[in-house]
Amino acid sequence: MKILVLHGPNLGLLGSREPGIYGHLTLADINRQIADAASEFGVEVECKQTDIEGELVQWIGQAGGEVDGLIINPAAYTHTSVAIRDAISASKLKTVEVHLSNTHAREEFRHISLTAPVCVAQIQGFGPAGYCLALKGLVDVLHSTED
């Protein structure tokens, strides 16, 4: 089983960007945690990050048939990107949306996710641990659909 993990805009700045909100771990640290969890669950992961909306759309489109599931933190694109929403929907991949912070405890414009309605779940507010929770949940969902 292979899972694609996509990180959206500004997540490459983790570790130095607003540590009061996003913590002190870098994206490389988080990707190592994801890889360790994937090993425990017996799955393969590939992690990618971009600030470019079109690149996320391309990666999602190319993932169909190549991976079994998708974990995505669309970051700011969560609230603005119909293109990413449509790419997730078209891919037919079981997808979990992740956010490091609780978006509902932040500015009002962050309360609406355009992508969540086409995902099987959304995990937010648990910091970097949210990715590992998403991975565990997604693996369980994918195993349950194999039966």
Residues with active-site annotation? 22, 99
98 with 73: CB under 8 angstroms?
Answer: yes
CB atoms within 10 A of CB 40: 12
Which token pair is 21? Answer: 């909100």
Task: Name residue 89's amino acid.
Answer: S
43 with 1: CB under 8 angstroms?
Answer: yes
